[in-house]
Amino acid sequence: MLVSGSLSTSWTAYLGLLSALSATFVPSVAVKEHDFKKCHQSGFCARNRAFADHALATTSWQSPYNIAPESGSFKDGQYQATILKTINDKGETVRLPITISFLESGTARVTVDEEKRQKGEIELRHNSKARKERYNEAEQWVIVGGLTLDKAAKVDYEDKTQVTVKFGPSSEFEATISFSPFSIDFKRDGHTHVKLNDQGLLNIEHWRPKIEKTESAASEETKEGETKEQDKKEKPKKEDESTWWDETFGGNTDSKPRGPESVALDISFVGYEHVYGIPSHAGPLSLKQTRGGDGNYQEPYRMYNADVFEYILDSPMTLYGSIPFMQAHSKDSSVGVFWLNAAETWVDITKGKGSKNPLALGTKAKTSTHTHWISESGLLDVFVLLGPTPKDLTARYGELTGTTAMPQEFALGYHQCRWNYVSDEDVRDVDRKMDKFKMPYDVIWLDIEYTDEKKYFTFDKHTFPDPIGMGKQLDSHGRKLVTIIDPHIKNVDNYPVVAELKSKDLGVKNKEGNLFEGWCWPGSSHWIDAFSPAAREWWASLFKYDSFKGTMENTWIWNDMNEPSVFNGPETTMPKDNLHFGNWEHRDVHNLNGMTFQNATYHALTSRKPGELRRPFVLTRAFFAGSQRVGAMWTGDNQAAWDHLEASIPMVLSQGISGFPFAGADVGGFFGNPEKELLTRWYQTGAFYPFFRGHAHIDARRREPYLAGEPYTTIIGAALRLRYSLLPSWYTAFRQAHVDGTPIIKPMFYTHPSEEGGFAIDDQFFVGNTGLLAKPITQKDRVEVDIWIPDSEVYYDYFTYEVVPTSKGKSVTLDAPLEKIPLLMRGGHILARRDIPRRSSALMKWDDYTLVVTVGRDGKLAEGDLYVDDGESFDYQAGQYIHRRFVFDAAGKSIVSVDAEGRSAKDVQEGEWMKKMRQVGVDKIVIVGAPAAWAGKREVTVESEGKTWSAKMEFTPAMKGRGAFAVVKKLGVRIGADWKISFA
Ligand SMILES: *[C@@H]1O[C@H](CO)[C@@H](O)[C@H](O)[C@H]1NC(C)=O
């Protein structure tokens, strides 16, 4: 969080302190859009856009990048060659080694480096200690698998101008590498899908020495600027060197010891009209064009993790985290690219029929999407994923960067946060009131004020005299505490943490190689350098129970401000010429910074006490590709406004398809005071965020859900209980995400990739495989909503079992008075719930299950699954879990439960938790849309574990649009056992 423009009284003290410490530094109290760079203010972005303008406007434009004749060789799934970049009229060239790796998964990777820099044959300016190589360690932090080379890939055709490689599953993928100019054309099933450098925008700014200009040269340049329009068109424009050597923004100067070094490439998606991904941006799921025109953006999408508080909506502006993974989608086909670069990155998007080279496209009238990727430094490193389905893309991406960590079950419950719960008694009081008003919740949070003057790893002794007593009260109902720990360490005497950081030399350095000092919440601070193994080891020591006193087994951690936020730094972050472990410049690793810090905390939480190992919970604000492996994220400092509620859904959906589905927005809105209707609708929406947390700014009035008053309190309570009853289904969806990268809430294009009408819809979604289709209300005074129906299945209202009169590809209007969440059940699914309301998820651990079956149109099969484990340990990795598949067969008149993974009882040695689960059963099955023929039936036959018995069934006939339904009670079957229920 960051302080808002309006200052509370409690804040004034802090400001006084700051001004006492520094007469010159004025804290930014109103960060606005103009505090962040536009493309024209970011030298390399401006240069590459100008390069693109010139290339696209010049008919005879030829990319100056060519593969050197005879330089190419193909071996064991890898093609290697040297690209020669022609740098002047004399034909001088720069050597750029390229490696194209064909991976077993069918993904291709293209990596381009710079030979002079590989060899260290460059000179740095300003006596910089920075590394000479292009940053080549992003892979080390990001990639966890999927790099095995495809030994079956083979050269299919080769001559002096090109080479074609066949690769991928049954060799259905093909890459044609053209030498002059260099480009790559990726085909699937004989059709081109992705093209690299088709528009000739490849640009790798090679290292060059700075030549100090003589006065006459400088004046010549002025003349150059006056060149006649006509000349300009014909002659290649002289490059604008003004931003090569240093750049100033907002009073901060970047010394750029290596000069210009950007990498850029155009990537065309041939025949694709929609592109998704590259979160986090506050805009539509289907990305907009960025080169102006009606309804389009003027600016490229930017990825440069930043503390952008009070962010503006419908904007390509950067936010707190970045995932440079983009998916293109057209009817029945998905492809994607993953741009592995952690430096500041911009992406321009344009759409159009044909291309610069229409013949080469081979598709006539179809719209294509052209993207232009621009990064400030590092290798050019791009993965091309050829689909063909959205699910293939998320799975392939998951193999590379890892899937979402399996969270503890409590993490899926409701989290109650505000800046700040002011004392341990305040926390105890909220805890009691939540119980009094029957509001289930799992976690209460402490923002920065719990500390002793912003010194992390301490509690304020006056306001939190008894944190352990507080923790124990929470624990008595299975609840947890999350405390905030940020990466800035207060620079003050008598604080052992900062003393150790200094003496052990574990902080981020400035460009001179001395400990970097900047400003954040505590005033003067230093930043832990989580890129350093020694720093991570030290960090772990700080979380031990006897070190972080006041914490106990149910304390978990929130990492905020890890972009990192530096109040007096350029764009509220670190200077780019700061140095990290290994002397890599901050410039190279900026977008990785948040992830390495969250990861350091994640690992710290696995070693608090010998013998105690549970899945850590760490929430992060900044993130990158791979952060999903170590925790949850939220969308940062939003506002208590209807349009922010609305914007949260596409933002959370975008996280989901981009491999980081454990995502949510602050319920209620961080800044401001939500009116009660907004707060209520926000809880109804938040109950469908994978990460569900209410949060509020220090200046916002208290808004714990029980304070809302009637009817709001009751309605919010119902939304919380809906979340809790569906926890088994949410947990199952997380398991799926953990196994193969599938999003937890899914947009229409993902579940129905053939239905073009759904490709731009981003305000409704399916939950896991449950068939639940939700469209939360995000507008004021709305009492009905149109929901788009993607198929011809039958849809039932979740609450009333009404059969909604739908037709495929059309919208249907649903009633949605304040107390109602528009939520449908698609026919053909089975979902699991736990229906007894309790105070926390931990208290539901041994409750029986309810299964809800929705009978599909034409009596098709209904299917679903349930995954359950102990919800906290890593024992699931040793098979300690129950994973059932339920199948309802209307024709066969039965429901069966079988092991979803085909394991038999003897495959699993039952541990303590599994033994205890023997007592947990299925209490009830509801069959919505039950066949009319069941009227009059009172009993069903149950078979399980070698026994047969009967159970009671109640049948309620269809009536006034509501479907018939049957309820079978007191089944007496175990959740972990095979069973069969016959209705015949
Ligand atoms: C996470 O921390 C572990 C343990 O220190 C380290 O081995 C790993 O490289 C780190 N990964 C990231 C992404 O920071």
Question: Residue range 149-169: average pLDDT?
Answer: 96
Phi and psi of 720, rounded to 5°? -65, -45
Give the ligand 1 atom nearest the CA of 626: 13
Q: Which atom of ligand 1 is nearest to the CA of 596?
A: 14
Which atom in ligand 1 lies closest to the alpha carbon of residue 531?
14
Strand partners, 346: 302, 374
Q: Write down the architecture of domain 43-304+337-401 according to CATH.
A: Sandwich (2.60)
Could you state, in order of their start, the residue ranges of all structural domains in the chain?
43-304+337-401, 411-740, 745-812, 845-982
Average pLDDT over the chain, rounded to whole?
93
**Interval 782-813: pLDDT, tens:** 999 999 999 999 999 999 999 999 999 999 99
Question: Among the atoms of ligand 1, which is closest to the Cα of residue 141?
Answer: 13
Distance separating alpha carbons of residues 829 and 812, to the nearest angstrom: 21
Measured CA to CA, the distance from residue 329 to residue 339 in angstroms comes to 18
Atom nearest to 629 CA in ligand 1? 13
Least confidently predicted of 141-145, 221-225, 588-592, 680-684 = 221-225
**What is the per-residue pLDDT for 16?**
37
List the beta bridge partners of residue 833.
850
- Span 542-573, pLDDT tens digits: 999 999 999 999 999 999 999 999 999 999 99
Tell me: pLDDT of 4 over 50. no
Residue 228's pLDDT is: 46
3-state secondary structure of 136: coil
Residue 874 CA, ligand 1 centroid: distance in Å? 18
Distance 317 CA to ligand 1 centre (A): 29
By three-state DSSP, how is residue 583 classified?
A: helix
Biggest CA-to-CA distance, the chain: 101
Give distance in angstroms: CA of 559 to centre of ligand 1. 16
**Residue of 538, 559, 599, 629 with the most ligand 1 atoms within 8 Å of its CB, for mutation:** 599
757 token code pair: 């009408």
Residue 25 pLDDT exceeds 70: no
**Best of 536, 539, 624 for a ligand 1 pocket test (most atoms within 8 Å of beta carbon):** 536
Angle at 854 between CA 853 and CA 855, to 5 degrees: 110
Angle (CA) 528-529-534 rounded to 5° is: 100
Residue 739 Cα to ligand 1 midpoint, Å, equals 21
Least-confidence region, from 192-206, 287-301, 342-356: 342-356
Q: What's the confidence (pLDDT) of residue 354?
A: 58
321 confidence band (pLDDT: 50, 70, 90): very high
| Tens digit of each residue's pLDDT (9 = 90 or more) over 412-470 | 999 999 999 999 999 999 999 999 999 999 999 999 999 999 999 999 999 999 999 99
Cβ contacts of 607 within 8 Å, gap of 6 or more = 540, 543, 544
Q: Which CATH superfamily groups domain 845-982?
A: Golgi alpha-mannosidase II (2.60.40.1180)
pLDDT tens sequence across 382-402: 999 999 999 999 999 999 999
Token reading at 225:
């600027």
Tell me the C-alpha to C-alpha distance, in Å, between residue 881 and each of 406, 650, 864.
Answer: 13, 33, 17
Calculate how far, in angstroms, residue 402's C-alpha sits from the geometric centre of ligand 1: 13
Confidence class of residue 757 from pLDDT cuts 50, 70 and 90?
very high
Span 366-372, average pLDDT: 95
What is the distance in A from the centroid of ligand 1 to the CA of 689?
28
Q: Are 853 and 862 in contact (CB under 8 A)?
A: yes
Of 799, 805, 724, 795, the closest CA to residue 766 belongs to: 795
User: How does DSSP assign 866-920, residue by residue?
Assistant: EEEE-SSSSGGGGT-EEEEEEEEETTTTEEEEEETT---GGGS---HHHHHGGG-
For ligand 1, atom 13: residue with the closest CA:
141
Comparing 205-219, 355-369, 679-693, 823-837, the range with the smallest average pLDDT is 355-369
Residue 382 has a pLDDT of 99
* Ligand 1 atom nearest residue 536's Cα: 5
Listed in sequence order, the residues at least 6 apart from 220 whose beta carbon sits closer than 8 Å to its beta carbon are: none
Percent of residues, the chain, with pLDDT higher than 90: 89
Q: Which of 542, 596, 601 is the best mutation target for the ligand 1 pocket, counting ligand atoms within 8 Å of the beta carbon and taking the most?
A: 596
Q: What is the pLDDT of residue 217?
A: 52
The rounded distance, in Å, linking the Cα atoms of 376 and 338 is 17
What are the residue ranges of helices labelled H in 312-423? 358-361, 390-401
Inter-CA distances, 853 with 770, 772, 833, 967, Å:
10, 12, 11, 10
Q: What is the pLDDT of residues 203-220, one digit of tens each?
A: 999 999 998 876 555 554
Residue nearest to atom 4 of ligand 1 (CA): 603
Mean pLDDT computed over 475-497: 98
Mutate to test the pocket of ligand 1, among 603, 607, 623, 624 (most ligand atoms within 8 A of CB): 603
Residue 2 has pLDDT above 80, yes or no: no
Cα–ligand 1 centroid distance for 666 (angstroms):
28
pLDDT of residue 361: 46
Q: How remote is the CA of residue 522 from the centroid of ligand 1, in Å?
A: 27
Based on the number of CB atoms within 10 Å of its own CB, is 80 exposed (0-12), middle (13-18) or buried (19 or more)?
A: middle
The whole-number pLDDT of residue 363 equals: 47
**pLDDT computed for residue 356 by the predictor:** 52
**3 state SS of 840:** coil
Q: What's the whole-number mean pLDDT along residues 954-979?
A: 96
Position 304 confidence tier, pLDDT thresholds 50, 70, 90: very high
Task: Name the strand (E) or helix (H) holding 224.
Answer: helix 215-225
pLDDT of residue 17: 40
pLDDT higher than threshold 70 for residue 761: yes
Closest C-alpha to ligand 1, atom 14: 596
- Nearest of 262, 216, 255, 267 to residue 240 by alpha carbon: 262
User: 336 near 174, Cβ under 8 Å?
Assistant: no
User: Distance between CA 618 and CA 607 in Å, rounded?
Assistant: 14
Reported residue count of the chain is 984
Instruction: Give residue-wise pLDDT tens across range 86-118.
Output: 999 999 999 999 999 999 999 999 999 999 999
Please state the pTM of the whole predicted model.
Answer: 0.95
Please answer whether residues 896 and 978 qualify as being in contact, where contact means their C-beta atoms are separated by less than 8 angstroms. yes
Side chain identity, residue 857: R
SS3 content of the chain, % helix, strand, coil (to 5): 25, 30, 45
Ligand 1 centroid from CA 622, angstroms? 16
The protein residue whose alpha carbon is closest to atom 7 in ligand 1 is: 533
Burial of 128 (0-12, 13-18, 19+ CB in 10 A): buried
How many of the other CB atoms lie within 10 Å of CB of 485?
22
| Measured distance CA(931)–CA(946) in Å, rounded | 28
Question: Residue 364, exposed/middle/buried by CB under 10 A (0-12, 13-18, 19+)?
Answer: exposed
pLDDT band at 364 (very low <50, low <70, confident <90, very high): low
Pick from 263, 404, 202, 406: nearest CA to 323: 404
Nearest CA to ligand 1 atom 9: 141
DSSP string, 380-421: EEEEEE--SSHHHHHHHHHHHH-------GGGGSEEE--TT-
Tell me which residue has its CA closest to atom 11 in ligand 1.
141
Q: Give every CB contact of residue 501 below 8 A, 6+ residues apart in sequence.
A: 489, 507, 526, 528, 538
Which whole-number Å values give the CA distances from 938 to 84, 533, 931, 935, 966, in the listed order? 81, 66, 14, 8, 10
Which residue's C-alpha comes closest to atom 1 of ligand 1? 599
Distance 557 CA to ligand 1 centre (A): 17
Active-site amino acid positions: 560, 563, 637
* Separation CA 943–CA 446 (nearest Å): 50
| Mean of pLDDT values over 881-899 | 94
Cα 178 from Cα 160, distance rounded (Å): 9
Q: Is the pLDDT of residue 230 over 80?
A: no
Decide if pLDDT at 902 tops 80: yes
CATH class of 411-740: alpha beta
Cα separation of 488 and 515, whole Å? 12
* Ligand 1 nearest atom to the CA of residue 600, by list position: 2
745-812 CATH = 2.60.40.1180
Give pLDDT tens digits for 614-657. Answer: 999 999 999 999 999 999 999 999 999 999 999 999 999 999 99
Rounded to an integer, what distance in angstroms lies between the CA atom of residue 724 and that of residue 409?
A: 11
Closest atom of ligand 1 to 142 CA is 13
Strand order in the sheet with 795-797: 745-746, 765-767, 772-774, 823-826, 795-797, 803-804
Dist. CA 421–CA 473, nearest whole Å? 15
Instruction: Give the mean pLDDT of 308-319.
Output: 93
Six-digit token string for 193: 């899908």
User: 425 CB contacts (<8 Å, ≥6 apart)?
Assistant: none
Q: What atom in ligand 1 is closest to the CA of residue 530?
A: 14
596 CA to middle of ligand 1, Å?
A: 7
Enter the tokens of residue 889: 């067969």
Question: How much is the pLDDT for 570?
Answer: 97
DSSP string, 623-678: --TTGGGG-EEE--S-BSSHHHHHHHHHHHHHHHHTT---EE-EET-SBS---HHH
The token pair at 869 is 């484990």
Q: Return the half-sphere exposure (C-beta side, CA atoms, 13 A cut-off) of residue 920.
A: 19
Q: What is the mean pLDDT of residues 157-174?
A: 94
Distance 849 CA to ligand 1 centre (A): 39
User: Which residues have CB under 6 Å of ligand 1?
Assistant: 141, 536, 595-596, 599, 603, 626
Fold agreement (43-304+337-401, 745-812): yes
SS3 156: strand
Q: Is the pLDDT of residue 359 over 50?
A: no
Q: What are 166's strand-pairing partners?
A: 154, 174
